[in-house]
Chains A and B, each alone.
Chain A
Amino acid sequence: MANKKILIIEDEETLQKALTQYLEEENFEVFGAMDGEKGVEMVKKEKPDLVLLDIILPKKDGFKVLEEIKQNENTKNIPVILLTNLESIEDIQKAFDKGATTYLVKSEYKLEDIVKKINETLK
């Protein structure tokens, strides 16, 4: 069975790299985008099985990216996990209203737990 494709849209290079390495060790095929615009482009091009998306991003913020993924017929069924350090009720509500599958606060989650969430979502 082919490895599942994950797209990480995250502007912080260290976080992007750590996540990529861990996911590759878990046998995922990983792509990365450092800003929102590139992220939307990559979703359309690579059709990943799942997207990990930050909210504060250059060029286009995470909410806008999520909106565009969910409004496009070809990408609307791709699950999107929000991975951010914002945690106000308003942000969480907004993310779910726009179609996010899960909302995770980075500093509260170990990579191991993020992988668990990814596997649960891909089941």
Chain B
Amino acid sequence: MEFCKNKLKIKVEFINDLDLGKQAKDLGIKIWQTPSFLFIVFGFTAMIIMTATYFISKNYEDPSVLVISECLVVVVVFILEMLVTRFVEQITKLNRMKSEFVSIASHQLRTPLSAIKWETELMLKKFKKGLNKKQVKNIENIYAINQRMIHLVNDLLDVARIDQNRLILKKQKFNLVEIVKEVVAETVPKAKPRNIEISIYAKKKLPFVLGDAEKIRLVVDNLLDNAVKYTNSGGRIKIGIFKSNDSLIFEITDNGVGIPQEQVGRVFEKFFRSDNASRYQTDGTGLGLYIAKNIIEQLDGKIWFQSIENAGSVFSFSLPINKQ
């Protein structure tokens, strides 16, 4: 009875193994990356090698040469198959567990962060009376640093979603120029104390683009935040928005620290921070551009940049124009 159960279990597991779509979804990877797909590829490879062995051994008269060589090939290929598929499965499972951990931890972190945000706001807006200037400043600092933490947790959540192929984006039409103006207005207070000037150049009647307005706001915010962070006091940041064929192009130019030539290929990698950026500003996770690239590409746009160390950078992205 126990044997029958085991047999049934093995059969069910085998059928599950062949469900490539389900496996890809469970592991958060593409179908061609699933262990079962690799297993099938190995199977075909084994068949081809065996056929080749047959034709080679045909030249020998003793039939046992054929049998032994075929057996040897099968054993070697099978062991290799087992090793590779187990290895891939283990890595993908670990990767998924890591992403899930980040996701759960980030959700749990958000509750105390919301509490700090609301308590400090309550103090500053409703119970400010009786507090001296120093105390108000201290509470404002707590509020600002907490906002940074919220931003970081949101970044981690986005990265976890990207890694699990679960970043779901809306496709709606919206006015890119309006969003850029709003983000600039929010950033000016950060740029002003360092005398950094931000200007926007855009024609009056530009078409709407197609994408997720909230996530594009995040991309613009990340690009502008980087520009401000890595530009020296008294620097200039120029933003241009223009039409090119079926797309709108967003372009942000700064005269900041730039990116060293030998590191330009790694700019959009997760957790990457260039050497001079880390020296210039210790605050930063290296997640902003990785998230931006994934969002833009998922919305059928492109993102690119040009940079010269100690002279500045130009970051650009394109988004499809709404045609309806």
State the A residues within 8 Å of B (CB).
12, 14-15, 18-19, 21-22, 25, 85-86, 88-89, 106-108, 110-112
Contact = CB atoms under 8 A, between A and B. Distances in A.
Given A85-B110, A107-B110, A107-B113, A18 B118 contact: yes
Interface string B78-117: 0000000000000000000000000000010011011101
B153 interface: yes
Contact of A85 (B111, B121, B125, B168): B111
Contacts of A15: 111, 114-115, 118
Interface of B: 107, 110-111, 113-115, 117-119, 121-122, 125-126, 150, 153-154, 168
A85 to B, nearest CB: 4
B111 A110 contact: no
B117 A110 contact: yes
Contact of A110 (B113, B115, B121): B121
B113 to A, nearest CB: 5
5 closest residue pairs by CB, A with B: A18-B118, A106-B114, A85-B110, A14-B115, A89-B168
A89 B115 CA distance: 24
A106 B122 CA distance: 15
A18 B168 contact: no
21 contacts: A14-B115, A15-B111, A21-B122, A21-B126, A22-B118, A22-B122, A22-B125, A22-B126, A85-B111, A86-B107, A88-B168, A106-B111, A106-B114, A107-B113, A107-B117, A108-B150, A110-B117, A110-B121, A111-B122, A111-B125, A112-B125
Contact of A12 (B115, B125, B126): B115
Say what secondary structure dominates the interface of chain A.
helix
Contacts of B154: 107
A19 B107 contact: no
B114 A85 contact: yes
Contacts of B126: 21-22, 25
Contacts of A106: 110-111, 114
Contacts of B114: 15, 85, 106-107
A106 B78 CA distance: 53
Contacts of A110: 117-118, 121
Which of A19, A25, A89, A107 counts the most chain B CB atoms within 10 A?
A107
Nearest to A14: B115
Contacts of A85: 107, 110-111, 114
